[in-house]
Amino acid sequence: MDIFGIPLQAFLGQLLLGLVNGAFYAMLSLGLAVIFGMLGIINFAQGALYMVGAFAGWIMLTSFGINYWFALVLAPLVVGILGVVIERLFLRHLYKLDPLYGLLMTFGLAQIMEGLFRRQYGVSGESYPVPDALAGATNLGFMVLPNYRAWVVLASLVVCLSTWFLIERTRLGAYLRAGTENAPLVQAFGVNVPMMVMLTFGGGAALAGLAGVLAAPIIQVTPLMGSNLIIVLFAVVVIGGMGSILGSAVSGLLLGVVEGFTRVFYPQGSNVVIFVVMVIVLLVRPAGLFGKEA
Amino acid sequence: MKLKPLVAALVIGLGCIGAQAKDTGSGPINIGIVTDLSGVYADIDGPAGVEMVKWAVHDFGGKLMGRPIEVLSADHQNKPDIGSSVARKWMAEDHLAMLIGGTNSGVNLAMSKVAAQEEVPMLGVGPGSARLTNQDCNAYTVHYGYDTVALAKVAAKALIKQGYKKWYFLTADYAFGKSLQSDATKVVDAAGGTVVGSSLAPLGTSDFSSFLLQAQSSKAQILAMANAGGDFDNAMKAAQEFGITKTMKVAGLLVFINDVNALGLKATEGLQLAAPWYWDQNAASRKFADRFFDKYHRMPSFIQAGDYSATMTWLEAAKKAGTLDGTKVMAELKKMKINDMFAKGYIRADGLLINDMHLYQVKTPQESTKPWDYYKLVATIPGDQAYTSAADSTCPLMKK
């Protein structure tokens, strides 16, 4: 049986690989969406924070012997704290200005972080081994799926769902959303809004750090790994609807699949296809797939 | 239009600069290197490559014809227009006597045109594309150390001899990758092999699993990586993860020791690759490598070793010629025999350095007994068999 001229087996294989990549897009754009949706900051440093997360995991393993599972908790914590520091030192001064200033600030910070790591570790990067418990592969009949990739999809789904639940379904999330709508009023009710904003930014940064640790065993840990991704992530967020958490998760997965199939049918176009989709979505639904029309 | 007066001013300005381009015959002699100092190729050449040029000058005595030698360096950021404008400025304003071309074929092709116009020798050490000494050759350009044809011939011939006849290419979708694939395809066809498929992956792809799945279903025996640097690293990592390395033999058409170090032996063991030089190939190369290691705590790539050798070769040629005149030094370069820690060979009329190439295999972790002990020699291919033959060269300079 063939689907679009490719055998069913290959079709299923590519579908699954697309979902794996989509899981990364989903997790990374989630952090962007949280930060934009809640704080209105276009965080261009998200890619660099992802890179820092991967390096943090690698440094923990090689210098301190901290294994993958601990790094999975510790590295996002480190990146989250870095996010908090960035928010306190730089971004809080820019809230009154046009969002463009936040974009420029985070873009500059991303360049600096990348430059520092490039100076220290060079551009060839470092290799992070797949943890023993997840090494090996499972034969699914239509393809051999490395166990680690299956784990990534699972982890990403859990992270996306819990983030969505936290923001849309809990009291804390309600405060957060109210704080974005009308900060002075929420503050008047006794909620510490600046603290909440700081922690939200830290949380969004931690999500990038987590994605970094998850990606480390799959791709080479290099200072440039974030800047390769950041533009794609913005496209994912725009397609999903700026600031929509569900939107960025779903469109992340979807675009991973679209990109995967482009690699089969027209590989040269695989790094452009996401932007083609973005253009079409913006023409048809300017607010994005899940965005609310203004 | 405001553009017109601006362009006119620029042209007049450049004309004036050109008029100053006479070496005064005293003061320091400038030589330069333009390479990627901060981007994806900064590890295989980069700042350490600049330092190698300085080492050569230092070891030569620091002076040529009684005048001190100064080394200029610039980052081309992998943009041909930046590379060629720096080269033009140096040659026109700073009386540059010789230019070393670092990594990136596109940049080197642009700079070699400037070198020809300004009649200043350019020694391209980092670029791969064989176009530099074929259809785009000129009388002032030397291609020093390796090219895509030699890489393809050495790697492909050896593998086909071992019985690997069905090939699949994973190719970086830009000039370098495509020329590597087409050069290798010619060798595969000529040696009785077949190419059963290929994937053109965009430069900077981070996930290669889709392409690898296609390669696997092609039932090819060889997965040939016609890419370099980060693309190669990520493709290799995924090949390992998906078990491709167990069902197919992977051939890296341009692999640097920095890649092997970054990936680790576990991910690269058994990989066969072509290279002109390896730090542990003989006593002279080890001596050079130890000196490099003391400063950088890693081993030099063959491009960094080539930077040193190319600079030294030019210094000796200029000394013998007794002049900085580009035409005369080029004539001397093409007459001399080169025999140093990097290369044994000669520069042909088309500007191509004919030196021996080697086929290496990456050691297993058990075979590796010391830091950076990564390669074992499989075969050495004499330069005249590795490179484009004189008959196949499309460079007009060969027809004289």
Rounded to two decimals, the ipTM of the complex is 0.76
Count CA atoms within 13 Å of residue A72 on its CB side: 13
Quick one: which of B237, B278, B288 has its CA closest to B372?
Answer: B278
Q: Which residue has the higher pLDDT, A286 or B326?
A: B326
Quick one: which of B73, B7, B13 has its CA closest to B42?
Answer: B73
- Under an 8 A CB cutoff, do A123 and B201 touch? no
The predicted-structure confidence for B264-280, as pLDDT tens digits, reads as follows: 898 888 888 999 999 99
Count CA atoms within 13 Å of residue B88 on its CB side: 16
pLDDT over 50 (residue A50): yes
**Per-residue confidence (pLDDT) for residue B16, from 0 to 100:** 45
Q: A156-160, A261-265, B305-309, B327-331 — which is least confidently predicted?
A: A261-265
Question: Residues of chain A whose C-beta is under 8 A from some C-beta in B?
Answer: 7, 9-10, 13-14, 17-18, 20-21, 118, 122-127, 129-130, 137, 143-144, 146, 148-149, 218-220, 222, 224-225, 228-229, 260, 263-264, 267-268, 270-272
**Per-residue confidence (pLDDT) for residue B4, from 0 to 100:** 58
Banded pLDDT at A4 (limits 50, 70, 90): low
What is d(CA A42, CA A237) in angstroms, rounded to the nearest whole number? 11
Q: A4-8, B310-314, B320-324 — which is least confidently predicted?
A: A4-8
Share of residues in chain B with pLDDT > 70 (%): 94
pLDDT over 80 (residue B25): no
**Per-residue confidence (pLDDT) for residue B216, from 0 to 100:** 86
Which residue from A minimizes the CA distance to B215?
A264
Contact in structure between A113 and A52 (CB atoms under 8 Å): yes
Chain A residues touching residue B229 (CB < 8 angstroms): 123-124
The predicted-structure confidence for A68-83, as pLDDT tens digits, reads as follows: 999 999 999 999 999 9
Chain B residues touching residue A122 (CB < 8 angstroms): 42-43, 258
Domains of chain A and CATH, by start: 2-284 (1.10.3470)
Contact in structure between A241 and A291 (CB atoms under 8 Å): yes
Name the 3-class secondary structure at B100: strand
**Per-residue confidence (pLDDT) for residue B158, from 0 to 100:** 85
The secondary structure of residue B327, as a DSSP letter, is H
What is d(CA B140, CA B131) in angstroms, rounded to the nearest whole number? 14
Residues in chain B: 400
Mean pLDDT, rounded, for B153-170: 90
Quick one: which of A120, A117, A126, A146 has its CA closest to A61?
Answer: A126
Question: What is the number of CB-based contacts under 8 A between chain A and chain B?
Answer: 107
CA gyration radius for chain A?
Answer: 19
- Under an 8 A CB cutoff, do B202 and A146 touch? no
Quick one: which of B291, B300, B340, B282 has its CA closest to B316?
Answer: B340
Q: Which residue has the higher pLDDT, A38 or A89?
A: A89
Please report, to the nearest 10 degrees, the dihedral formed by the alpha carbons of residues A23, A29, A34, A36 taken in order: -170
What is d(CA A71, CA A212) in angstroms, rounded to the nearest whole number? 11
B362: part of which helix (H) or strand (E)?
strand B357-362
Domains of chain B and CATH, by start: 28-146+284-355 (3.40.50.2300), 149-275+357-386 (3.40.50.2300)
- Under an 8 A CB cutoff, do A225 and B266 touch? no
Q: Which residue has the higher pLDDT, A142 or A82?
A: A82
Q: How far is CA B255 from CA A117, A276, B274, B292, in A?
A: 23, 34, 8, 20
Can you list the pairs that B132-137 forms with residues at least 24 positions away whose Cβ atoms lie under 8 Å? Answer: B132/B105, B132/B108, B132/B351, B133/B348, B133/B350, B133/B351, B133/B352, B133/B388, B133/B393, B133/B395, B134/B350, B134/B388, B134/B393, B134/B394, B134/B395, B135/B394, B135/B395, B136/B109, B136/B112, B137/B350, B137/B351, B137/B395, B137/B396, B137/B397
- Under an 8 A CB cutoff, do A124 and B259 touch? yes
The secondary structure of residue B340, as a DSSP letter, is S
Q: A98-102, B162-166, B364-368 — which is least confidently predicted?
A: A98-102
Banded pLDDT at A30 (limits 50, 70, 90): confident
Burial of residue B369 (CB within 10 Å: 0-12, 13-18, 19+) is exposed
**Per-residue confidence (pLDDT) for residue A268, from 0 to 100:** 81
What is d(CA A67, CA A70) in angstroms, rounded to the nearest whole number? 6
Backbone angles phi, psi at B391, to 5 degrees: -70, -35
**Per-residue confidence (pLDDT) for residue A56, from 0 to 100:** 94
**Per-residue confidence (pLDDT) for residue A137, from 0 to 100:** 81
CB-nearest to B43 from A20, A124, A268 is: A124
**Per-residue confidence (pLDDT) for residue B2, from 0 to 100:** 54
Banded pLDDT at B62 (limits 50, 70, 90): very high
**Per-residue confidence (pLDDT) for residue B287, from 0 to 100:** 96
Q: Which residue has the higher pLDDT, A6 or A183?
A: A183
Question: Which distant-in-sequence residues (6+ apart) come within 8 Å of A122 by Cβ?
Answer: B42, B43, B258
What is d(CA B249, CA B239) in angstroms, rounded to the nearest whole number? 10
**Per-residue confidence (pLDDT) for residue A226, from 0 to 100:** 87
Banded pLDDT at B139 (limits 50, 70, 90): very high
What is d(CA B158, CA B165) in angstroms, rounded to the nearest whole number? 11
DSSP string, A123-160: TT-B--PPPGGG-SEEE-SS-EEEHHHHHHHHHHHHHH
Mean pLDDT, rounded, for A215-242: 87
pLDDT over 80 (residue B175): no
CB-nearest to A219 from B214, B237, B243 is: B237
Angle subtended at Cα B286 by Cα B283 and Cα B292, rounded to the nearest 5 degrees:
150
The predicted-structure confidence for A164-190, as pLDDT tens digits, reads as follows: 898 888 888 888 888 877 878 888 888
**Per-residue confidence (pLDDT) for residue B395, from 0 to 100:** 92
Write down the mean pLDDT value for chain B: 89
**Per-residue confidence (pLDDT) for residue A1, from 0 to 100:** 55
pLDDT over 60 (residue B12): no
